[in-house]
Amino acid sequence: MQSVLTILNAIERGETTPRAAVAQSLDTIAAKDAAMGAFVALPERDKALAATDGAAGPLAGIAVGVKDIIDTYDLPTGHGSPIYAGHRPASDAAIVSLLRARGAMVAGKTVATEFAYLQPAATVNPHDPGHTPGGSSSGSAAAVAAGMVPVAIGTQTGGSVIRPAAYCGVAGYKPSFRLIPLVGAKTFSWSLDTAGFFAATAADAAAFVSRLTGRPLEVEPVDPGSLRVGIYRTSIWDQADADTRAAIELAAERMTGAGATLVEIDEPPALAAAREAHSTIQNFEAGLALGFEYDHHRDMLSDILRSALEQGRAIAPDAYDAARSVARRARHETGDLFRSLDVILTPSVTGAAPRGLSSTGSPVFNKLWTLTGNPCVNVLGIVNAAGMPVGVQLLARFGRDRLALSAASWLESLLAGAEVGAQKS
């Protein structure tokens, strides 16, 4: 994988140039993407490199994949749907304007599932093309995992950053809700949609977002002796497979072995209820956000999306308001957990990426934390006996993104090369 920090340090030392770094990414895309299917639109190489010649800023030389529900004025934005084939926005989304202003280059639009929902797209998993890369930020995760770009932007409404990051074996960072603007991205659920980032490591993700936003998010040393870690198996622990359970136990063992204090957490009833409220909020808002597409292009929607929109349109406003009240209580309850904890360890996914491309996998271990808005990081390093990544997730108090990233970077160092499970037939 390409590293944001390695590239930026090499440019600073004069060992390469922004143009050469971007050219390497474009060349790797050209060499690999036909087999991977991570990109749906690419810039003209000569024009992209010419623009890089004049680039300045803290991210000059960084080629970025941008999820295809995020507007770009110079590349089509298709939202993963035939309804928007060839659609050319008149302007960039706010996050794209920001990355260009910081000197980064849009290396292409990465494949997204249909309107960032559950209908699988064409991208395959870089570790094994017979397995899903996850979704909905399929192309963003795969592009980073395959070494085509050092960083890619995705979004998460349920589990669309953490899940594909776990399946593809990269760092996935979902910031605190609204830390990053999503103006100019296709809305699915305005209460849940959150920008996210994929990179080779948590430190790379932190370095990129720090330079992008101007916020102090770079990883800093963690003192294990003062770190209080909550292990949160949740009330749906039975949905985690043997490899995921083993990965959580291994991560907990490595952290306590390094000096951290481990605290077992029973899931509060308010958080279990909030997990169910997520679907009510998501589908109600999607039924409104995609009302035009449903009313005018219903026959061009997948069955799974059409069904979700119909469910959302059937939800009464008072049921939606009740679900929002549940969500508010859950956010308060989550804040209470962090009175005695620094970070929480919990599964990223139910297991390694499923075989086949007919599903993007389950977001069941992600959607609660999207609802509460906490910063989450998929921590890479563990693989199963078949060599497929098995992710674990760290989250911190709302607004403590730097702690989440720093703890994740520390845990990465403890888990490097770790393996769980037995060889499957």
Catalytic (active-site) positions: 67, 136, 160
418 beta partners? 382
Give dist(CA 222, CA 93) in Å, integer: 35
CB atoms within 10 A of CB 397: 20
Q: Which residues contact 52 (CB under 8 A, 6 or more apart)?
A: 18, 19, 22, 60, 61, 105
Q: 241 exposed, middle or buried (CB, 10 Å; 0-12, 13-18, 19+)?
A: middle
Residue 376 carries which DSSP code?
Answer: E
Distance linking the first and last C-alpha atoms of the chain: 29
Give dist(CA 209, CA 343) in Å, integer: 20
Phi, psi of 81 (to 5 degrees): -135, 140
Kind plus residue range of the DSSP H or E element containing 344: strand 343-347
Half-sphere exposure of 329 (CA within 13 A, CB side): 15
Kind plus residue range of the DSSP H or E element containing 329: helix 317-337
Q: Give 224-246 as a DSSP string.
A: GGG-EEEEE--TTGGGS-HHHHH
343-347: strand order across its sheet: 39-41, 105-110, 63-67, 151-156, 194-199, 171-174, 376-379, 392-396, 343-347, 228-232, 261-265
- In single-letter form, the type of residue at position 85 comes to A
Give dist(CA 212, CA 361) in Å, integer: 30
Using left for φ > 0, alpha for ψ between -120 and 50, and beta otherwise, residue 108 falls in: left
Using left for φ > 0, alpha for ψ between -120 and 50, and beta otherwise, residue 61 falls in: left
Question: Helix (H, G, I), strand (E, B), or coil: what is residue 120?
Answer: coil
